[in-house]
Amino acid sequence: MAGSDFYSRIKCVFGNCYGNNRSRRFMSFMYPVPRILNEIAKVPLLMRCDTQTIAGIWAQQFERRDNVVVMTLGGQVFQQLSKNAKRSPMFVLPVQVETRGTYNMILQHVDSKSVLFTSVHSFKSYGMEKSSPHFILTFYDELLVQKNIILVRGDIVNPTDVSKSNAKKLMEHTVKFYSDINLYKWVDCFNNRPREFEFEDFKRKCKHILEQ
């Protein structure tokens, strides 16, 4: 697709929906982004595109946003992720911050389309429902049946603790650890055999993944 046509397609697909971040009450805070794809994009226009074009439009639309990261998933990966999330809704991931070293982020799959992240410190102090989210993942499955693609959007709520590069890692690591059978064993152990879960062992053996 020619460059000018590509940008025109983005404008047509998102139109006036872009920036329409109407909040939704969710748990103890206002969910900061629309949870329905129709509220941020013109789905009928996306339906006319092939999956490669859809992925390109999705990435291009948000690439200049400092507080948003995006990716796309195939249907099979999403279905495996959703299945594992039902059995193991929580996990912990380390985050590297240049000014303060490493701290740990805990995540919870609230449902098949939403994942909340907060610091372990906040979680221990207030519990998940009363903790302020640092980062949120939203999965849009409206194109799954016809296009076999899931649009994923990650929104940084606390930029002091979550940079854009760290947000990208949190998003990618969440997908990997919940969809890869060899990595999911750590998530399963954390949720269903917590006494057997050794965090330092997890970090050491998964260092090659966590530092990517």
Least confident piece of the model among 76-80, 118-122, 193-197, 206-210 = 118-122
Q: Is pLDDT of 25 > 80?
A: no
User: Quick one: average pLDDT of 52-69?
Assistant: 95
CA 172, 175, 177: angle at the middle one, nearest 5? 105
Q: Residue 209 and residue 97: Cα distance in Å, rounded?
A: 17
Mean pLDDT of the chain, nearest integer: 86
The pTM is what?
0.85
Q: What does the domain layout of the chain look like in residue ranges? A: 32-211
| Runs of H (alpha helix) within 100-198 | 120-126, 144-147, 164-179, 181-192
Q: Is pLDDT of 3 > 70?
A: no
> What is the pLDDT at residue 100?
67
**Is residue 172 very low, low, confident or very high in pLDDT (cuts 50, 70, 90)?**
very high
Q: Residue 128 and residue 79: Cα distance in Å, rounded?
A: 25
> What is the pLDDT at residue 13?
53
Residues ≥6 apart with Cβ < 8 Å to 111: none
Q: Is pLDDT of 40 > 50?
A: yes
Q: Residue 36 and residue 142: Cα distance in Å, rounded?
A: 8
Q: Is pLDDT of 176 > 80?
A: yes
> What is the pLDDT at residue 123?
84
Q: Are 26 and 80 in contact (CB under 8 A)?
A: no
Residues ≥6 apart with Cβ < 8 Å to 42: 12, 13, 14, 15, 17
Q: Residue 178 and residue 181: Cα distance in Å, rounded?
A: 8
Q: Is pLDDT of 23 > 60?
A: no
Q: CA–CA distance from 134 to each of 123, 138, 157, 161 (Å)? A: 11, 14, 5, 7
Which percentage of the chain shows pLDDT scores above 70?
84
> What is the pLDDT at residue 131?
80
Q: pLDDT by residue (tens digit) across 124-158?
A: 887 777 788 899 999 999 999 999 999 999 999 99
Classify the phi-psi angles of 127: left when phi > 0, otherwise alpha if psi is within -120 to 50, otherwise beta. Answer: left
At residue 130, what are phi and psi to the nearest 5 degrees?
-105, -5
